[in-house]
Amino acid sequence: MRHYLGIAASILVTTAVAVASYSVNMKVSAERAAVTRLRIALVDETQRIRELQAELRTRAALPEMQRWNDVSLHMTAPQATQFLASPVQLAAFAARPDDGAAAGAPALRYAVTEAIPGAADPAPAAPVVPAPRALVKAAYAPPAEAPPPALPAADAPPPEVVEGQ
């Protein structure tokens, strides 16, 4: 009987040691995962700090770049008329049929024109007021598909090659 009590005690002690070891192992794994998350967050924050420093350097250089532009480059923002005949065409060009419009229905965009035709000019004594503008709807529909070009038949004679001209 004593022999069985010694075996039972050793099994009980071994089980207790195994459970305690497993518990310590789980705590160590949890701490290691937390340290890994902190390292990843640290790398992300370091990258964000570098991005903000680059943006700060860029913004600090903007006044100097503006002075260069004013003195020698003379660049301006692009206007719609540089590329198309009017802002209405630009609005129609920018419209995409996949913007939630129903299939087959043209998408609508709005553009501001330079002046309303027939609008009266302001009196010269009045303060300078910008010309009246009109809101214009521009519809965009995808172009109709053209049929593909016909290919020559398989039994058609080959084209003749003329040499010496």
CA atoms of 111 and 71, how far apart (whole Å): 33
Q: How many residues are there in the chain?
A: 165
- Domain assignment present for 164: no
Q: What is the pLDDT of residues 110-138, one digit of tens each?
A: 555 565 555 555 454 555 555 566 555 65
- The reply to whether 90 and 52 lie within a common domain is no
Q: Residue 24 contacts by C-beta under 8 Å, 6 or more apart in sequence?
A: none
At 51 the pLDDT is 94
Regarding whether 93 and 58 lie in a shared domain, the answer is: no
Q: pLDDT by residue (tens digit) across 36-92?
A: 999 999 999 999 999 999 999 999 998 998 898 888 888 888 877 777 777 777 777
Do 30 and 1 share a structural domain?
A: yes
Looking at the fold, whether 68 and 37 belong to one and the same domain comes out as: yes
Is residue 121 in some structural domain? no
Which residue segment(s) compose the domain that 85 sits in? Answer: 80-116+132-140
Helix (H, G, I), strand (E, B) or coil at 160: coil
Contact 92, 85 (CB under 8 A): no
pLDDT of residue 79: 78
How many domains does the chain fold into? 2
Residues 68 and 98 in one domain: no
Does one domain contain both 49 and 32?
yes
Residue 162 lies in a domain: no
Domain check: are 85 and 67 in the same one? no
CA distance 80 to 89: 9
Residue 108 confidence (pLDDT) above 90: no
Q: What is the pTM of this model?
A: 0.36
Question: Residue 73: its pLDDT value, please?
Answer: 85
Burial of 162 (0-12, 13-18, 19+ CB in 10 A): exposed
DSSP, collapsed to helix, strand or coil, labels residue 20 as: helix
Indicate if the alpha-carbon torsion angle 36, 42, 47, 51 is positive or negative: positive
Closest C-alpha among 130, 100, 129 to residue 112: 130
Does 84 lie in the same domain as 62?
no
User: 139 - beta bridge partners?
Assistant: 108
Would you state the torsion angle of the CA atoms of residues 15, 17, 22, 23, taken in this order, to the nearest 10 degrees?
A: 110
* 125 occurs within a structural domain: no
Same-domain status, 1 and 71: yes
Same domain, 69 and 85: no
3-state secondary structure of 144: coil
Angstrom distance (rounded) from CA 82 to CA 90: 10
pLDDT at 138: 58
Q: Is residue 102 part of a domain?
A: yes
Torsion of CA 49, 52, 58, 61, to 10 degrees: -80
Average pLDDT of span 129-151: 62
How do residues 8-40 score in pLDDT, each as one tens digit?
999 999 999 999 999 999 999 999 999 999 999
Q: Do 60 and 5 reside in the same domain of the chain?
A: yes
